[in-house]
Structures are given as C-alpha cells and as structure tokens.
Amino acid sequence: MSETMSQEQLEAVMGLIINAGNAKSDAMEAIQAAKQGDFALAEEKLKAADQALVEAHHSQTGLLTDEASGNPMTITLLAVHSQDHLMTSITFNDMAKEVVDLYKRLGNE
C-alpha cells in the first residue's frame, strides 16, 4: 500500500473540504439574512448550502466506491480533516435551517 494518496484521491479530498466549507459559509449567510428579515435570501443560501453538500457527497462517494473496489486510501490528516469538515458542515446546515425557521416564526408574531 502506498504511503500517499493518489492524485484522484487528493482531488476528492480537496473537493470534500472545498464544498463542505462552501456549504457552511452559505448556511451562515442564510442565518445572517434571516436575522435581517431577508427570508428570500436566506432560502437561496440554504439551497446553495444543500447543493454544496451534494457536491461534497459526490466526492465522498467516489472515495467509498474506490475503497469498496479494493483500492483503499492511505489515511492522512488531510483525509480525516475532510471527513470532519463534511460532518461539521452537515450539522451546521441542519441547525441553520432551524434557526432560519425560528426567525421566520418570530417575524410572524
């Protein structure tokens, strides 16, 4: 087994990090928009966050498919970081949806 990732694996890991980071940024922007009462922008940002997470999952699926096919990846700090980034972004996105919903409810009272 190689001590380093292949170029394809590195690209998938970087795709995870980039897209997960974009998702978290969009989710934060959704919260800020909702805080200002701009619910149309908040919804747009939540949709963008969801799309970024779909892209991140595509990268992750590629890595999982490779491993299931007998091509395991060397576990590096970068690979662990990418998974941590993805899981944190998923959780943050879920919470952002709840926060936006709360701002909507408060705005209607």
pLDDT the model gives residue 107: 83
pLDDT band at 3 (very low <50, low <70, confident <90, very high): low
The yes-or-no answer on residue 58 being catalytic is no
Measure the CA–CA gap between 32 and 27, rounded to whole angstroms.
9
Q: Is 38 annotated as a binding residue?
A: no
pTM of the model: 0.89
54/66 Cα distance (integer angstroms): 18
- As to burial, measured by CB atoms within 10 angstroms (0-12 exposed, 13-18 middle, 19+ buried), residue 106 is exposed
Segment 63-93, tens digit of pLDDT = 999 899 998 888 899 999 999 999 999 999 9
Residue 52: Cβ within 10 Å count: 22
97, 32 contact by CB (below 8 A): no
Over its C-alpha atoms, the chain yields an Rg (Å, rounded) of: 17
34-52 pLDDT, tens digit per residue, is 999 999 999 999 999 999 9
Q: What is the mean pLDDT of the chain?
A: 93
